[in-house]
Amino acid sequence: MGDAQKTITSLQNPEVKRLMELQLKSAARRESGLAVVEGRRELQHCLDAGHEAVAVYYCPELAGELACDTGGATLIQVSPAVYEKIAYRGGTEGLVAIVRPHHRRLDDLQLSPSPLIIVLESVEKPGNLGAVLRTADAAAADAVIVCDPLTDLFNPNLIRSSVGAFFTVPCVACTSQECIEFLKRHHITILTAQLQDSKPYYDTDMTRPTAIVMGTEATGLTDAWRVAADAHILIPMQGAIDSLNVSVSAAILLFEAVRQRHIPTND
């Protein structure tokens, strides 16, 4: 790694303001085409996925030598006070990067012979989507498709909660209709998680090309998905509560597919 090109010690520096806008405002990320990635592991996953690092801000008191790849980005040293302001979360490794991400489309997805896909409709909470991506990585899913999203895919909280899995699992945003057409065109079985007219998930074949489709806890799936589904599945509930958090449900269903497919997992 090369030497820092400059040092920022003032909280009023324009670059600090720029970083804060990218951290906090989806409009700023959308208009600039830039996003913020925090932490060494997350940045490495980001670079490995082919995204471009524009600038890397690091605090020597926290980052030490910072012997990691920065993808040729501009390297800028910051004081502890500045880092505390620009960091989205505490306890990180003293590194925040501005990146120029590329946006995947459905047709960019490279699917395995028997793909396993998780589809989320109108997900609102970035933390939930991040947790689903983390599970999708653990289950070696082919992709996570987010239909009609209510959250910015480059929300820092999403990237943080995914522990970098946002960059290891192909993630695409599109409309529900576009996704349905894509799945039908590729002969992928659509399994919708819903309470009505459903059978237990463990009685459903997931060894074929499969898309597990989930909606929000509050409203469930739209009628378009109910009609398009090849089968409706549910997780039998034994208590008084009739639903689980979407990330928990996704983990149960994905690893049932893993179990059926006999994919080895790391114990």
Residue 234 lies in a domain: yes
Q: Clarify whether residues 245 and 118 are in a common domain.
A: yes
Q: How far is CA 233 from CA 76, 98, 205, 262, in A?
A: 51, 41, 11, 21
State yes or no: pLDDT of 264 exceeds 70. Answer: no
**Residue 30 one-letter amino acid:** R
The per-residue pLDDT for range 39-95, each reduced to its tens digit, is 888 888 999 988 999 999 999 888 776 656 677 888 999 999 999 898 876 656 789
Average pLDDT over residues 190-210: 92
* Same domain? 84 vs 118: no
What CATH number is given to the structural domain containing 57?
3.30.1330.30
Q: How many domains does the chain have?
A: 2
What's the whole-number average pLDDT of the chain?
89
Residues 227 and 182 in one domain: yes
- Give domain status of residue 208, yes or no: yes
Among 37, 68, 100, give the residue marking a domain's end.
Answer: 100
pLDDT tens, residue by residue, 114-145: 999 999 998 888 889 999 999 999 999 999 99
Domain span at residue 216? 106-261
Report residue 147 as tokens: 């239909």
Q: Is residue 267 part of a domain?
A: no
* Residues ≥6 apart with Cβ < 8 Å to 254: 116, 118, 135, 136, 139, 141, 212
Same domain, 118 and 238: yes
- Quote the pLDDT of residue 63: 75
Distances (CA, A) of 209 to 120, 186, 237: 17, 9, 27
Query: pTM score, two decimals?
Result: 0.87
* pLDDT for residue 62: 83
250-265 mean pLDDT: 87
Co-location of 201 and 244 in the same domain: yes
159-184 pLDDT per residue, tens: 888 988 999 999 999 999 999 999 99
Distance CA 97, CA 40 (A): 9
d(CA 23, CA 140) in angstroms, rounded, equals 29
117 and 229 assigned to the same domain:
yes
The residue with tokens 């002969």 is 187
Closest residue by Cα to residue 229 from 159, 179, 156, 263: 179
| 98 vs 241, residue with greater confidence | 98
Is residue 266 situated within a structural domain? no
Does any domain span residue 24?
yes
Mean pLDDT for the stretch of residues 15-26: 92
Q: What is the 8-class DSSP label of residue 220?
A: B
CA distance linking residue 227 with residue 225, whole number of Å = 5
- Between 82 and 5, residue with greater pLDDT: 82
Q: Is the pLDDT of residue 266 over 70?
A: no
Q: Are residues 65 and 117 in the same domain?
A: no
Those residues whose C-beta lies under 8 Å from the C-beta of residue 187, and which sit 6 or more positions away, are 209
Do 86 and 154 belong together in one domain? no
Residues above pLDDT 90, as percent of the chain: 59
- pLDDT for the residue 89: 67
Instruction: Decide which of 78, 100, 122 is a domain's last residue.
Output: 100
196 and 93 share one domain: no
* CATH code, 228: 3.40.1280.10
Note whether 180 and 224 are same-domain residues: yes
Confidence of residue 149 (pLDDT cuts 50, 70, 90): confident
